[in-house]
């Protein structure tokens, strides 16, 4: 395992699904403000929906699919992810300083934020609860293979696992390996194979036969 600690489809994993103290306080505050009529739940739902449908993982999937299909874009993405992602219109807070890392047969990348929950919202939407959980944030660094096993991912023993630690200055996007048998797919069809977890590194891209037409 190699860890970069100096310079991550929804799964139900109880170990990683606990609320952090901050999340619990936010939930309590939201409930209190709603009960007092100071916050409109519909407005909150609209914000959440925007990040789930407009500013969500499908944006990152478009980036990955473009990189799979266009070698020149892939090189640009690996060289200057912030600019390459912005060229597709995916910009905003939490996405100002992006770095793309590519999975290969020799190396699998995984992203964590050990200090809090830094996460690239413009390309991945809202962070899942497990990403913010202390259990994930600690175990991803000390036992990444164990974390991958929790998510149902098994890699060859000789595949290096590199863990990238997101910060307020840098956030990472994993480019998962392109599934076999996808040579004739369009960019949109390729994007349908890209999952949120595969762009964090806790999952793999779907195979074509797993996608319902």
Q: Map residue 121 onto helix, strand or coil.
A: helix
Among residues 17, 20, 87, 113, the one annotated as catalytic is 113
Tokens encoding 109: 């990348």
Q: Is 17 in the active site?
A: no
Name 13's Cβ contacts closer than 8 Å, sequence gap at least 6: 130, 150, 151
Could you give the angle at the alpha carbon of 132 between the alpha carbons of 118 and 47, nearest 5°? 70
Among residues 2, 20, 87, 116, the one annotated as catalytic is 116
Q: Is 113 in the active site?
A: yes
Among residues 2, 17, 20, 117, the one annotated as catalytic is 117
Q: Is 2 in the active site?
A: no
Residue 2 contacts residue 161 (beta carbons within 8 Å): yes
Q: Is 116 in the active site?
A: yes
156: nearest Cα among 135, 177, 130, 183:
177
Residue 54 contacts residue 171 (beta carbons within 8 Å): no
Instruction: Count CA within 13 A, CB hemisphere, residue 112.
Output: 27
Among residues 118, 138, 166, 198, the one annotated as catalytic is 118
The residue to which tokens 């980036």 are assigned: 63
67: nearest Cα among 80, 78, 59, 83:
78
**Active site residue ranges:** 113, 116-118
């Amino acid at each position: 395992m190699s860890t970069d600690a100096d310079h991550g489809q929804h799964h139900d994993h109880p170990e990683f699904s606990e609320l952090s103290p901050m999340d619990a306080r936010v939930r309590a505050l939201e409930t209190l403000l709603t009960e007092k009529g100071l916050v409109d739940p519909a407005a909150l739902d609209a914000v959440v929906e925007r990040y789930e449908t407009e500013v969500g993982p499908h944006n990152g999937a478009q980036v990955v699919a473009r990189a799979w299909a266009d070698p020149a874009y892939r090189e640009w993405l690996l060289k200057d992810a912030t600019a390459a992602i912005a060229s597709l219109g995916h910009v905003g807070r939490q996405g100002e300083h992006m770095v793309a890392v590519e999975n290969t047969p020799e190396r699998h990348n995984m992203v964590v934020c050990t200090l809090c929950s830094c996460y690239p919202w413009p390309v991945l939407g809202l962070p899942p609860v497990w990403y913010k959980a202390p259990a994930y944030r600690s175990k991803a660094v000390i036992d990444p293979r164990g974390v991958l096993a929790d998510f149902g991912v098994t890699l060859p023993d000789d595949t290096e696992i590199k863990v990238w630690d997101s910060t307020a200055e840098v956030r990472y996007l994993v480019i998962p390996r392109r599934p076999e048998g996808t040579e004739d797919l369009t960019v949109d069809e390729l994007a349908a194979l890209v999952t949120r977890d595969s762009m964090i590194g806790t999952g793999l891209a779907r195979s074509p036969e797993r996608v319902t037409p």
